[in-house]
Structure 1
Amino acid sequence: MTEYGRGSGPEPWHPEDPLYGDPGWGGHEAQQGQMPYGGGPQQQYPQEPQYQQQYVQQDPYAQHPQHAEQLQGYAPQQPHPAQQMQQPQQMQPVQQMQQQTYAGQGQAWDTGQLQYADPVQTVDPVQIVDPYAGAEPYAQQPIGGFPGEAPDLYGTDEAYPPPQPPGRRHLAPEPGLDEEDEDASDGDADAPAGGGRRAGRGKGGKGKGKGKKKDSRTACLVAAVVILGVIGGGGYYGYSYLKARFGAAEDYTGSGTGESVEVEIPQNATLAQMGRILKERGVVASTEAFIAAAQANKKGTSIQAGVYTLKKQMSAMSAVQVMVDPSKLNVLTIPEGWRAVEIYKAIDKKLGKPEGTTAQIAKQESKDLGLPAWAANNAKIRDPLEGFLYPARYDLSKDSTPQSLLKQMIRNANDKYAAIGIEEKAKALGLENPLQLVTVASLVQVEGNKHEDFRKMSEVIYNRLKKTNDVTNQKLEFDSTINYLKNTSNINVTREETRKLDDPYNTYFYKGLTPGPISNPGSDAINAALDPDKGGWMFFVSVDGNTTTFTKTFAEHEKLVAQFNERQSKKSGG
């Protein structure tokens, strides 16, 4: 047994403990005569003999401390000194009092008060009223005038802080005491209960302290891993940046492996875009190396768009040397004014096909290559594809075929003709159908020596087609038409040939336009056919073969023809 009664720990509670005498909570002391909340029986702890001689007024705040698990309410307390002054008859030695015990669970509880036969029935209701209701619970109590009275532990400079509610007493550690010390104190069953702390949380306290330490170590480890990851990642990217910024660009050596690859460079591509395309195709090792090699080459900025046949793992310098050479482009270029038969031969040669392969395909599959409905509306047309193989550069690949190239050329021509509104323009110019407008353009392309002559040549054609033309009787009389039907390029056509050759394409023999185009006109010739000159030109002749002279009258034309014949006679030695 201890001096003040045994708590949950092995040490007694000291009277100066702010929790001493506070097994419950109400913000003030319970009045004498009040029963503990709950009304249940309480355990009796006998007092030591030497303290049985003390008066009840010795400690107005003394209570019997109870264990946390056993508390049911407030234990009765001794009356306040002020009350003792009003009730002197109650100030009797404890040893002379008859102690009343409440039986319950085989134990007795010493109330330290007068005997009451029935605590519920005999307690005066007036005494149950709380005299401190509505007052400040921590206000300083009046100091009693009796000697030996205990000092007010809450009203001095060294006072302990007021007691806290049970649910908040251990929420935060006291200043100066860290969590580790708190856990250690709470978990040590032999630690003293003084200093304003309860002793002996038991195993639960120890387990909680260990959990906090383990969580702290885990958090530190995670933080260290994150920091190391950030430092490592930053170092890697920093090294990569410095290497890319100041180090030599990655590059292959030599002219590449034996594996070939086709690379298509789009129109208006920059050197950086070219480098990325080449790197993706496995030709160069890095974009930076290609840019540096192209800038070091005088022709590096003149690399054309198109398809190049290159090798994998080439040095950037080797790749640039191939690409600055236009002949290395894997393309097929169709010049303006080429006839269809010339284009067929070029396709066979470029694709490595036997001669005549493309011409045969064009003849047999003409209806399946995408020609417009108005293209082949004349049964006398020698080649329905003539005038629809649009002159341009065509990129080739390993998948290119004669059919694919012909379809692409016809598609380009259709796009061009649709863009100009060829059907409406043909009617506006007095032509029978759009095909005749393409035919005019093909004649302008062949007969016009230079682009600046195209609009004058276009006017000559339209003037000769007029019904009022009584000079040529609506005949064009173009040598180019004779050369087309004979598949030649001889500009010196005799009068005898023009009069004897009976063919729809002989414009000396037949009036009007040829059945179809005689070449594949380009953009300038098409535009000239749409917008002829207004100078009144009716005739033209090229005296030296380079310069074309246009005249309005037949007399002027005859003089130019005489000069031309004389020049031709001198060349032949006549």
Structure 2
Amino acid sequence: MLHRLIGAIVIAVSFIAAWLMMDYRQFSDAPLNLPEEGVVYSLLPGTSLKGLASEFEQKKWLSSALYLRVMARLDENSAKIKAGEYRIPKGTTPRGLLALFVSGKVTHYSMTIVEGWSFRQMLAAIQKNGEMKHTLEGLSDEEIMKRLGHEGEHPEGRFLPDTYHFSRGTTDMEFLKRAYNAMQQTLHREWDGREKNLPLKTPYEALILASIIEKETGLASERPEIAGVFVRRLNKGMKLQTDPTVIYGMGESFDGNIRRRDLRQDTPYNTYVHKGLTPTPISLPGADAIKAALHPAKGKSLYFVATSDGGHKFSTTLSEHNAAVRKYQLKK
């Protein structure tokens, strides 16, 4: 009698084990119950696999939290899941879900720092970004630079215009550090390969010149020629006489028009009043503007004036320049 009972138990256990194995395999290969568009899921730091599996089961995305935990244990992945925001597409299986969380391939967002923006414009764009974690509110420019580890540096021009990709929850300070480091790498790389005999003593002076070039023209093809004019004027001890520096010096009082009295206003940035470069950059220059500043075009032109097509007319003599001004600015 006992033998028959033991035999029945063995058969029952074997049947149950076979059924569980078949059910587990079906679970492993069956897609999660996700909507057609998939889901975006934020795996918070410190979340355990047990908590993750239970949440997915409660949302009815997963048929068995226990099976997912067993799968992770068998694959030794339970301690390897990485926090972040993930996009889980329709058709993902439990095994694919674990592989995704272990891979750390989180959803990335992007933000572009535009060439020619000022530091304040860049900060305004960062503050409007909904994917970053904001920590800079209420801080002065000096406090921001101190937190970046560059106390005493003027922030203008220090951040490289480019498109940066980041995950949700990246702090604005982390974003700024990336843009700052990118600028330093670009600036010093170009400085090391610069032309000889430039009137620039330091990489920072190159950054200042590049920021002026950036604001003078939106045409990439013109940047080396604009740089050539400024370099020749600096070598000759001539004033740069460039409007964007005047505008920067006017600050919030600039209303869209430069008047004759503005050209005579004595601000540190007015290159109609002061010789040489401005005290700091006046914008965030892109890599092309930095390259142009350190590789200016050869030539003899000392003047330029904006034309109606968005470009500039370059002149060698003052009389040629005055004629160009009459033609393109005064329409005479």
Query: Is TM-score (shorter-chain normalized) higher than 0.5?
Result: yes
Distance in 2 (alpha carbons) for counterparts of 1:560 and 1:339: 30
Report the alpha carbon displacement of residue 565 of structure 1 after superposing the two structures with TM: 3.5
Higher Cα Rg: structure 1 or 2? 1
Match of 1:524 in 2: 288
Report the alpha carbon displacement of residue 430 of structure 1 after superposing the two structures with TM: 2.8
Match of 1:386 in 2: 156
Matching of residues 474-489 of structure 1 within 5 Å: 474-487=238-251
Report the alpha carbon displacement of residue 482 of structure 1 after superposing the two structures with TM: 1.6
- Decide which structure has greater strand share: 2
> Structure 2 vs 1, CA of residues 251 and 542 (structure 1 numbering), >3 Å: closer, same or farther?
farther
Question: What are the ranges of 5 or more consecutive residues in structure 2 without an aligned counterpart?
Answer: 1-21, 23-28, 45-60, 63-83, 93-106
Aligned length: 255
Distance in 2 (alpha carbons) for counterparts of 1:414 and 1:543: 34
Matched, 1:440 2:222: no
Matching of residues 312-331 of structure 1 within 5 Å: 312-314=88-90, 330-331=109-110
Distance in 2 (alpha carbons) for counterparts of 1:545 and 1:498: 25
Contact 1:255 1:315 in 2 (8 A): no
Distance in 1 (alpha carbons) for counterparts of 2:134 and 2:308: 36
Distance in 2 (alpha carbons) for counterparts of 1:258 and 1:511: 56
Distance in 2 (alpha carbons) for counterparts of 1:494 and 1:545: 23
Matching of residues 14-413 of structure 1 within 5 Å: 253-257=35-39, 259-260=41-42, 311-314=87-90, 330-351=109-130, 357=136, 360=139, 362-371=141-150, 376=153, 384-413=154-183
Match of 1:459 in 2: 228
Question: Aligned partner of 1:336: which letter?
Answer: E
Question: Aligned partner of 2:169: which letter?
Answer: D
Identity %: 29
Distance in 2 (alpha carbons) for counterparts of 1:355 and 1:405: 10
Task: Identify which of structures 1 and 2 has the higher relative contact order when contacts are C-alpha pairs closer than 8 Å and 6+ apart.
Answer: 2
> Structure 2 vs 1, CA of residues 352 and 395 (structure 1 numbering), >3 Å: closer, same or farther?
closer
Aligned alpha-carbon RMSD (Å): 3.8
Question: Aligned partner of 2:166: which letter?
Answer: L
Match of 1:543 in 2: 307
Question: Aligned partner of 1:254: which letter?
Answer: E
Contact 2:187 2:203 in 1 (8 A): no
Distance in 1 (alpha carbons) for counterparts of 2:195 and 2:39: 56
Distance in 1 (alpha carbons) for counterparts of 2:260 and 2:266: 13
Question: Aligned partner of 2:115: which letter?
Answer: E
Give SS of 1:346's match: helix
**Quick check: 520-529 or 251-260, which moved more?**
251-260
Report the alpha carbon displacement of residue 333 of structure 1 after superposing the two structures with TM: 0.8
Report the alpha carbon displacement of residue 440 of structure 1 after superposing the two structures with TM: 0.8
> Structure 2 vs 1, CA of residues 417 and 359 (structure 1 numbering), >3 Å: closer, same or farther?
farther
Contact 2:234 2:276 in 1 (8 A): yes
Query: Normalising by the residue count of structure 1, what TM-score does the alignment of the two structures yield?
Result: 0.39
Distance in 2 (alpha carbons) for counterparts of 1:342 and 1:358: 14
Question: Aligned partner of 2:214: which letter?
Answer: Q
Question: What are the ranges of 5 or more consecutive residues in structure 1 without an aligned counterpart?
Answer: 1-235, 237-243, 263-283, 286-307, 317-327, 377-383, 570-574
- Decide which structure has greater helix share: 2
CA displacement, residues 379-437 of structure 1 (integer Å, 9 cap, x when unaligned): xxxxx121111111222333322211111111111111232345x84984132322111
Contact 1:345 1:355 in 2 (8 A): no
Give SS of 1:387's match: coil
Out of 417, 434, 440, the position equivalent to 2:187 is 417
Q: Which runs of 4+ in 1 moved over 6 A?
A: 248-251, 352-356, 488-491
